[in-house]
Amino acid sequence: MFTSGWIPMRRIEWHDTIDSTMRRAAELAREGCAAGTVVAARTQTAGQGRLGRTWDSRLGGLYFTIVLRPRLEPARVPLATLALGLAVADTLQIFVGLSVDLRWPNDVLIGDRKLAGILAQLQEGALLAGIGLNVNQREFPPELARIATSLRIETGSEQNPDLLLPALAGSVESHLKILETSGAAAILRLFEAASSYAAGRRVRVEMPAGEITGVTAGLTAEGFLRVRRDDGAEVTVTAGGVRPAG
Amino acid sequence: MTIEEIRELIHVVCSSGIAELEVQRGENRVWIKRTAGAVVADAPAAPPPPAAVSVIPPIAAPPEGVTVAAPQAAPPAGTPDLTDPTLQPVKSPIVGTFYEAPAPGAEPFVHVGDVIQPGKVLCIIESMKLMNEIEAEISGTIVKRLVENGQPVEYGEVLFLVKPS
């Protein structure tokens, strides 16, 4: 059950329910769909998270994957992760008047609670950007209540996902365009301005060799997070797993 | 530049008709020159050994460089010959973390000994939470995996060696 339409120059495939927008987008990418194609759903039965985790995809949220084909050298592609978080933050500021925080590399937060999750995969020769945004959920089950929030909870009013979606998709594309045309430095500056985690924030980080604690010290030219440990040594974080430390 | 990358450049020189190769990346520069090809007589069963090459770092002593000698005998039967110049490396296009499977505990994408075709997903390199599926570009057999699951990898680091078919 879906409607398939064109919102000026863009194909949006809307599903009431789907297993996973990432899976369907990969299928479309394999078939050679145009850049900017979107698969969206009101609920997912098998919403994907990072490394085989699931993403809670109950009714009330907006779940979509956009197929992108950026002209970027491979070493630059991971910076797209930062661009995706910036795109969501920008849209919410403009459309909902809500200021969000970005936790490196791509968690969209209000305080310490997650408002949106982003999953980026290079697959089928395309960059698949999956975004799960908590929109109209009035509450979350106990296991998520302390770590998740929604636009409804934060603003007290309902939002229309059908209007948010094209705005988010357009913002994703324009932020990737910034990366393509203005390079890494422009995205790094925007991220440092938008994220309380970029510098001066005390954090714990899961690293392959164990957890470290320290203070964030800006981003490297590649977009990795610098953390100055308590013993003075500087560590470059390339994966994720950044959490606030007391 | 890592030893692994230098070793790989030697492979490139040995497996091609190039006499001399100079590669510069940032402040690292390596110059590889093929000297007289080592010929091993009376060993018809052994694979032809690669030519001897010299690796001369531009700054470091000694000036005459390090000579990498060609192996004199075939490796024991049953084990892959990792010096085989026809082996093709699969390299990481980005700095990140190597994952052998789509999820922890899941079946790895490939095992040593697997026959692969172009487009076959070999592993995932995660960088800044971007999951990068690394696909085979050639057909062949996976002879060796050089990195562990969950291990950080550098740009250009060799992940697998593939014997082309």
Residue A28 near residue A18 (C-beta atoms within 8 A): no
Segments of chain A with pLDDT less than 70: 1-9
A45 and A98 inside one domain:
yes
pLDDT on residue B78: 55
pLDDT level of residue B27 (50, 70, 90 thresholds): low
Q: Has residue B87 got a pLDDT over 80? A: yes
> Structurally, how many domains does chain A consist of?
2
pLDDT level of residue B37 (50, 70, 90 thresholds): very low
| Mutation for B interface: A121, A128, A191, A235, most B CBs within 10 A | A121
- Minimal Cβ distance to A208: which of B95, B131, B150: B150
CB contact under 8 A, A78 and B155: no
The 10s digit of each residue's pLDDT in B97-116 is: 999 998 888 999 999 999 99
CB contact under 8 A, B132 and A122: yes
A117 and A222 inside one domain:
no
Convert A76-100 to b/e letters by CB count within 10 Å (16 or more is b).
bbbbbbbbbbbbbbbbbeebbebeb
B35: in domain: yes
Q: Is B128 left (phi over 0), alpha (psi -120 to 50) or beta?
A: left
Location of structure tokens 């930062």? A82
pLDDT on residue B52: 43
Cα B122 to Cα B120: distance, rounded to the nearest angstrom: 6
- φ, ψ of residue A5 to 5 degrees: the values are -140, 175
A147 and A225 inside one domain:
no
Residue type for position A45: T
B104 and B159 inside one domain:
yes
Max Cα-Cα span within chain B: 55
Q: Which domain holds residue A21?
A: 2-193
- With 0-12 / 13-18 / 19 or more C-beta atoms within 10 angstroms meaning exposed / middle / buried, residue A56 is middle
B75: in domain: no
The 10s digit of each residue's pLDDT in A174-204 is: 999 999 999 999 999 999 999 999 999 999 9
ipTM entry: 0.84
- With 0-12 / 13-18 / 19 or more C-beta atoms within 10 angstroms meaning exposed / middle / buried, residue A238 is buried
Q: Which residues contact A84 (CB under 8 A, 6 or more apart)?
A: A106, A118, A120, A129, A131, A172, A175
Cα A114 to Cα A103: distance, rounded to the nearest angstrom: 10
| Mutation for A interface: B125, B130, B155, most A CBs within 10 A | B130
pLDDT more than 70, % of chain A: 96
- Minimal Cβ distance to A52: which of B106, B126, B155: B106
- Minimal Cβ distance to A238: which of B96, B106, B132: B96
Q: Which residues contact B69 (CB under 8 A, 6 or more apart)?
A: B38, B52
A33 and A144 inside one domain:
yes
pLDDT on residue A246: 74
pLDDT on residue B32: 61
| Mutation for B interface: A53, A54, A172, A238, most B CBs within 10 A | A238
Rounded to the nearest 5 degrees, what angle is found at the Cα of A174, between the Cα atoms of A147 and A52? 40
Report how far apart, in Å, the C-alpha atoms of A172 and of each of A24, A222, A238, B75, B137 are.
Answer: 19, 20, 22, 54, 30
B133: in domain: yes
CB contact under 8 A, A118 and B129: yes
B28: in domain: yes
Q: Average per-residue pLDDT in chain B?
A: 73
Chain A residues touching B99 at Cβ < 8 A: 51
The DSSP bridge partners found for residue B34 are: B53
CATH at residue B100: 2.40.50.100
- For residue A161, the distance in angstroms to the closest alpha carbon of chain B comes to 25
pLDDT level of residue B44 (50, 70, 90 thresholds): very low
- Minimal Cβ distance to B130: which of A51, A77, A208: A77
> Structurally, how many domains does chain B consist of?
2
Residue B128 near residue A223 (C-beta atoms within 8 A): yes
pLDDT on residue B29: 62
CB contact under 8 A, A51 and B99: yes
B106: in domain: yes
CATH at residue A45: 3.30.930.10
pLDDT on residue B11: 65
Q: Which domain holds residue B147?
A: 88-164
What is the separation of C-alpha B33 from the centre of its chain, rounded to a whole number of angstroms?
18
pLDDT on residue A50: 80
- For residue B107, the distance in angstroms to the closest alpha carbon of chain A comes to 12
CB contact under 8 A, A78 and B102: no
A187 and A229 inside one domain:
no
